[in-house]
Amino acid sequence: ETGVTQSPTHLIKTRGQQVTLRCSSQSGHNTVSWYQQALGQGPQFIFQYYREEENGRGNFPPRFSGLQFPNYSSELNVNALELDDSALYLCASSFRVSGADTGELFFGEGSRLTVL
Amino acid sequence: AQKVTQAQTEISVVEKEDVTLDCVYETRDTTYYLFWYKQPPSGELVFLIRRNSFDEQNEISGRYSWNFQKSTSSFNFTITASQVVDSAVYFCALSEPYGNNRLAFGKGNQVVVIP
């Protein structure tokens, strides 16, 4: 067990709605990354949070936003949902010291979002 | 831009056979990390290995082995004596330099081990 937990595990939304996904990082980890995995594809990097600030972003529009809290947990928010947002959203945590990640990146089991 | 190519989409093998998964990557960086992850049907990505671009030694961990060849930008993964529990999707990934763990993934290899 990796220790990264995500909620909810499954959810269904309709186009135009908003969604919030949550992630608790593994104990001792201070960096959280979010990935989107469409069916049959590899995960795509959305963004990363370190010290409660966004620290790198992939090719995703501003309607994808996030937060990191003092306890290192994180939220991913998606506004104005589109059909193509249907995917598995994966959260990953790691430990960063002096600006560099020190080792493994641990993933949670993901939140599967369906947009109708 | 970084890119990872895993050409074989689905591979079926009979139990106890060996299976090799190819991974070819593209990057302009001289420092980077390469990863392999396993994704069982549950969806969680299970970490298998992280390799620094400066370390070209091959590695073996139990039935798993990795062949890193910087000259051909490849980081291939072999499962020896496959078992049914090895059935999963396997992803190769490449990180940006300085070890910040922002990964670019390949499309994955679906491995099916037939009993």
Q: Read off the pLDDT of residues A7-16 as tens digits, 9 standing for 90 and up.
A: 999 999 999 9
Residues 52-111 of A with CB under 8 A from B: 55-56, 58, 88, 90, 92, 94, 96, 99-110
β-pairing, A19-24 vs B3-5, is: unpaired
pLDDT tier at A100 (50, 70, 90 boundaries)? low
Inter-chain touch A107–B105, beta carbons under 8 Å: no
Backbone angles phi, psi at A77, to 5 degrees: -115, 135
Model pLDDT for residues B44-69, shown as the tens digit of each residue: 899 999 888 888 888 888 999 999 99
β-pairing, B10-14 vs B109-114, is: parallel
pLDDT of A83 > 50? The answer is yes
pLDDT of A102 > 70? The answer is no
- Tell me the percentage of chain B whose pLDDT exceeds 90: 67
Which residue in the set A2, A90, A104 is minimally distant from B50, CB to CB?
Answer: A104
Inter-chain touch A100–B50, beta carbons under 8 Å: no
Report the pLDDT averaged over residues A83-90. Answer: 97
pLDDT tier at B99 (50, 70, 90 boundaries)? low
B47 → chain A, closest CA residue:
A106
